[in-house]
Structure 1
């Protein structure tokens, strides 16, 4: 029975991520770029000032500061998708897949500007006055109740897409590889991971925001230092690696199947998993920011793909490509990244560094994703019942620890694809509302 489910999900994932969804994500992102006249990109410095707290207002509605909102969103994206997902992209599509991840990230910055601005524009409240947000609220409040089936579709897919299947799976695999344990220990690792995660996720959005704002700066700096060390040791190979990425991006020779279309699809899928632009999860977090200015939070949200894909994913890709392990190994996911680190760092430092980063990255993702699921369940039922999703979430960590990596990837890819449809459609239909607010904002603040 489980084998049938695996085959069905694998087939659905392959079908749904074919050209129609690629056209929606890439085409929608290009529309946002052109429709905005690239204006948001000219205010990147202003976005940094907002992130630094220059415009913070403690009395504004919301639960999280701009920094906490971005940290929590990045905590969900700068995680296993950056360490493990990049390896998956290279194995599946070759070095050229990284180029298409870059293109997807640049387009995704425009998508996040629109979707996260809308998330603040069309927020809702629960019985206690706590702000709720996300594509489902954007759809029902921005487009009207006649569009509610589209909002329900997003929330239902979100219950699956926000499960920690990939993260818990790769966290467990890392510990098994490093400690040289057999697969029988995965159950025990899953139970321990679930226990640690429950200490944070049961505390709700404010506790998640506090923990994420402390973890994210640390994990990005640590990862940056480690990978830069590897690249310095391999410095003579870096120019060739960039040339390989660019040349392979259009030839597709190293891609499985050798097709350029497959290569593009692989890059876009992995970028979507990495930075979630257009998927709809980040708007749920950014929508809780303490602000009365939707455009301000939209600008902050743009920073996410830049950090996540253009910086962190690129560093991971260069580390894997420069060591050559992607050509000589049969490993995939975190195992391949670990092999790349160990091939350069001496005295087993690769194991130590990777396990620290994987634990920090992985737990930060586990903490943030739980909030997305509770928001989706709260929309489908009542906000006060959303917290019960956490119990399903904790149990799923244990199950995810023992499933195959292919199943985890296909499950999340399938759910993400379905979530993207309502997110991008609502963004396109309400884009004019964002432009109108943006014009007022930029004139008002003369930034």
Structure 2
């Protein structure tokens, strides 16, 4: 029954809805993900020095790293290899297309999450789909926000925390022979030390660990490409030809290439699933659209960069032989391909990369679960402590248990989670456009860093306290006319 529901949700309903809405958002926004692509880097540079935790805030860069920690995971290593095995090299082309379209979806869901965020006493913020459903869609939709929060807690807070623990433990066992029970115990202790420090410690850990793991994986892929530069044009041609069925002996033809590319792309970058907006909302930025642009970039990092690294490692190697029948699949294909290109240490490298990706995803999953709890009762610290204890226990238990049924259940709940979020995005597309146009108008007027005036959007039930800039940040804005936000008393 779970397999049937998964097939219905992920191979039929969600593919159509996610792609359809992504195209709608892309066209309706005049390709916002491409128009502002260059600004992604400028925003990140500005926010590194902007509100650097002096007042307890989390920077735009830290929020980006936390979201990348969740997006970049096993799907970038094992999932891409599965897509190539079942759909042929053409699946990578359609994965790229899904990533480019998904950038627009991520822009809108994360912009809305920023706009509807609420201020916390410690200088942090809370937000996400539950908040923009309840505040943006109105009181009669609060039931949907509650359903969304429960699904978020079950899927990411509980199920995926245990599943990622299993992935990390088995990866370490394969690479170094360390028993999964030992890894599970150590993992539980480390995760506990991080999550009991709250979201600010989580963000600081992600800020350091995520660039290290991502840059390391990208670097080894670049080494592989440089060593095989003469074969790269042929690989790119193979990807494009397979995508349009011009290599009929490869994979399952154009249909399989599209399905696998779209499915694995959506599963990897999470654009539209509603998970990343929970993290996007925590950043202290001057305008909601700024974080929307940054989070669109995280989709680009995940799909267009990291997934491509795995694809080139597999396709430049000699382990994958298209059209020859049975293939090595999953992470084993990536490991064997890299080992054939750089030596046997490549197997260990992939295992370590998978371990780091899995570990950072556990931290990300924990935060999503905590955010879902806060929507119900933000002041109940005892409930949060209990949740943290359960996550720590799940990390230890999950490392030693085969969780196939749990994974199938979590896939179903994540599919339902996505449908709830996509319904909200469709309903709130017009407010999202208003936010985008306000940002664009300030850019057109020559404002270097647009500032959000919450009073001009009072009809959207936005928490004005979450949009009060600190005094020194107001002073740093050179043009008073471009800074209508009221100062904090």
Instruction: State the TM-score, normalized to the length of structure 2.
Output: 0.81
Higher RCO structure, 1 or 2 (CA under 8 Å, sep 6+):
1
CA contact (8 A) 2:11 2:263 kept: no
Measured in 2, the distance between the counterparts of 1:405 and 1:89 equals 22
Match of 1:5 in 2: none
Partner of 2:434: 436
1:380 and 1:333 map into 2 onto residues whose CA distance is 39
Could you say if the C-alpha distance between residues 414 and 91 of structure 1 is closer, same or farther in structure 2, counting changes exceeding 3 Å? farther
State how far apart, in whole Å, the 2-side matches of 1:290 and 1:128 are: 13
Structure 2 residue 375 is matched with structure 1 residue 379: yes
Where in structure 2 are the equivalents of 1:40-189 lying within 5 Å? 40-53=33-46, 56-57=50-51, 63-125=57-119, 130-162=124-156, 163-180=160-177, 185-189=179-183
What TM-score, normalized to structure 1? 0.89
Q: Residue 414 of structure 2 is aligned with which of 407, 416, 421?
A: 416
* Equivalent in the alignment of 1:401: 399
- 1:3 aligned partner: none
User: After the TM superposition, which residues 27-426 of structure 1 pair with which residues of structure 2 at under 5 Å, given as runs?
Assistant: 27-53=20-46, 56-57=50-51, 63-125=57-119, 130-162=124-156, 163-180=160-177, 185-251=179-245, 258=252, 260-327=254-321, 331-346=328-343, 348-382=344-378, 384=380, 385-404=383-402, 407=405, 410-426=408-424
Partner of 2:483: none
Which structure would you say has the larger Rg? 2
CA contact (8 A) 1:12 1:414 kept: yes
C-alpha displacement of 1:408: 6.4
Is 2:202–2:363's contact at 8 Å kept on the other side of the alignment?
A: yes
Shift of the alpha carbon at 1:312?
0.9
Distance 1:259 1:362, change over 3 A: same
1:427 aligns with 2:425: yes
Judged with a 3 Å threshold, the aligned counterparts in structure 2 of structure 1 residues 200 and 58 are, in CA distance, closer, same or farther, namely closer
- 2:30 paired with 1:9: no
Partner-residue secondary structure (3-state), 2:244: helix
Q: Which moved more, 1:120-129 or 1:372-381?
A: 120-129
Do 2:242 and 2:254's aligned partners in 1 also have CA atoms closer than 8 Å? no
> What is the CA–CA distance in structure 2 between the aligned matches of 1:202 and 1:416, rounded to whole Å?
26
For residue 4 of structure 1, what is the aligned residue in structure 2?
Answer: none
**In the TM superposition, what whole-angstrom CA distance separates every residue of 1:254-303 from its partner, at most 9, and x where no partner exists?**
787x3644443322232223211101111111101102411111111111
Does structure 2 conserve the Cα–Cα contact (< 8 Å) formed by 1:248 and 1:254? no
Using a 3 Å threshold, how does the CA distance of structure 1 residues 12 and 39 change in structure 2: closer, same or farther?
A: closer
Runs of 5+ consecutive residues of structure 2 not aligned to the other structure:
449-489
Q: Is the 8 A contact 2:56 2:122 kept in 1?
A: no
Q: CA deviation at 1:166?
A: 4.5
Distance (whole Å) between structure 2 residues aligned to residue 361 and residue 12 of structure 1: 28
- Within 2, Cα distance between the matches of 1:438 and 1:277? 18
The alpha-carbon deviation at position 229 of structure 1 amounts to 1.4
8 Å Cα contact 1:142/1:430 also seen in 2: yes
- Say whether the 8 Å CA contact 1:53–1:66 is kept in structure 2: no
Distance 1:100 1:398, change over 3 A: farther
Q: Which runs of 5+ in 1 are unaligned?
A: 1-7
Flag the 1:426–1:301 CA change in 2: closer, same or farther, 3 A.
same
Instruction: Look up the match of 2:451.
Output: none
Q: CA deviation at 1:369?
A: 1.7
Structure 1 residues 22-44: Cα deviation after superposition (integer angstroms, max 9, x where no partner): 11111011110011011342122
List per-residue Cα deviations over 1:42-87 (Å, max 9, x = no partner).
1222221111125824699983101101011111112222122212
Show the counterpart of 1:19.
12
Query: What's the CA shift string for 1:77-113, capped at 9, x where partnerless?
Result: 1222212221232233332222221111101100011
The separation in 2 between residues aligned to 1:320 and 1:407, in whole angstroms, is: 29
Aligned CA distance change for structure 1 residues 395 and 129 (closer, same or farther; 3 Å): same
- For the residues of structure 2 that align with 1:110 and 1:102, how far apart are their CA atoms? 14
